[in-house]
Structure 1
Amino acid sequence: MAKVKWTVDPAHSEVQFKVKHLMITTVTGFFTSYNVEVETEDEDFTKASSIVFTADVDSISTNNEQRDTHLKSEDFFDAANHGQIKFVGNKYEEISDGTAKLHGELNIRGVAKPVTVNVEYHGTVVDPYGQTKAGFTIEGKISRKAFGLTWDAVTEAGSVVVSDDIRLHAEIQLVKQN
């Protein structure tokens, strides 16, 4: 079996998170600078020997500069001291054809915790330029407070400003490296 390396195609990928604000609306954020590197046996993702995702905290965007600055501050991600979020997958568990659970360790703000995300594999194709590409949808949920993002505020009426649950969503296209 041959080792195959894959890297993210950022032009055809996106990494998002969603959080409830005032418990009545959802705010979506994303990272504009991130990387994914995967190593598989042949082209079999169920036999991935390495899955590493990193995101640069300074690239966070919620389409609101004031909020983004707050998210990068010590109240949340503390970008000055913890500039990168990192996920290292350690087990790709196929559930049924095309769906899987990816188990690994997520490190945010210097706090590492086990996390499992749902993966939907959409297939592997050769694009018009001869590149082999694989597509995935990844979804999961984490507690921000478990990773040290504990800033809280409460409205006069007693409502929570930012929920603890953060929903993760990524559309990832990988390119086979020759």
Structure 2
Amino acid sequence: MGVSFLATDSALNGDWSIDPSHSRFGFSTRHAMVTRVRGAFNEVEGHAHLDTENWNNSTVEVKLKVQSVDTRNSQRDQHLRSADFFDAENHPEIVFRSTGVDEVDESQFIISGDLVIRGITRPVTIPMELLGIDTDHTGGLRAGLEGGRRIDRKDWGVSWNTPLDSGGVLVSDKISLEFELSLIKEQ
């Protein structure tokens, strides 16, 4: 039996952990100006403390292991791990730490925070939608959220590229971040 949306405020209160096996931290970008390449980070950990009485007390932290980047092409993945892109050897994690959580409408949130890539910290805001809260097959309370954000990778020093004969570039500077999250309420 699920928790109705009318009860989501009280159900959301508390501490939550990301379920990595049911969550996706993905990205997509244009390749050669005409196709889209999609990828994800397969190793992730994160938690949230949500206080629906005072959203200022809410916090979110997510860590992605750069080594786990997966675009379904091992040569491309190795290049993404290199100093040309994420520099996994010197910067093994991408980290997001919230500076604010705000409920902007029913089941709609804006999470503001600092995103650290390659040791460079920049503020970002991420819109998220609460899809629902329900009890899973083990009796645990689970919340589903989705969101996304477009960023310019050059803002974090990820600037490698190759010009094309057409005048374009091999990799777009604009990256779409895609979040599909399954959170499990901690007891």
Taking structure 2 as the reference length, what is the TM-score of the superposition? 0.89
Query: Which deviates further from its counterpart, 110-119 or 44-53?
Result: 44-53
- 1:14-33 Cα distance to aligned partner (Å, 9 max, x none): 11000110111110010110
> Is 1:29 paired with 2:15?
no
Give, as a single letter, the amino acid of the residue that structure 1 aligns with 2:129.
E
> Is 1:100 paired with 2:89?
no
Partners of 2:37 and 2:14 lie apart in 1 by: 37
Superposed CA RMSD: 1.7
Number of the residue aligned with 1:91: 100
Query: Which deviates further from its counterpart, 166-175 or 125-134?
Result: 125-134
Q: 2:48 aligns with which of 13, 22, 38?
A: 38
Aligned length: 175
Partner SS, residue 110 of structure 2: strand
Give, as a single letter, the amino acid of the residue that structure 2 aligns with 1:29.
G
> Is 1:11 paired with 2:25?
no
> Is 1:72 paired with 2:117?
no
Give, as a single letter, the amino acid of the residue that structure 2 aligns with 1:38.
A
Query: Which deviates further from its counterpart, 115-124 or 103-112?
Result: 115-124
- The answer for unaligned runs of 5 or more in structure 1 is none
Number of the residue aligned with 1:128: 137
Partner SS, residue 114 of structure 2: strand
Q: CA deviation at 1:45?
A: 9.1
Question: Which is helix-richer, 1 or 2?
Answer: 2
Q: CA deviation at 1:65?
A: 0.6
Q: Residues 20 and 69 (structure 1 numbering): CA distance in 2 closer, same or farther, change over 3 Å?
A: same
Question: Which is strand-richer, 1 or 2?
Answer: 1
Q: Residues 116 and 67 (structure 1 numbering): CA distance in 2 closer, same or farther, change over 3 Å?
A: same
Partner SS, residue 70 of structure 1: helix
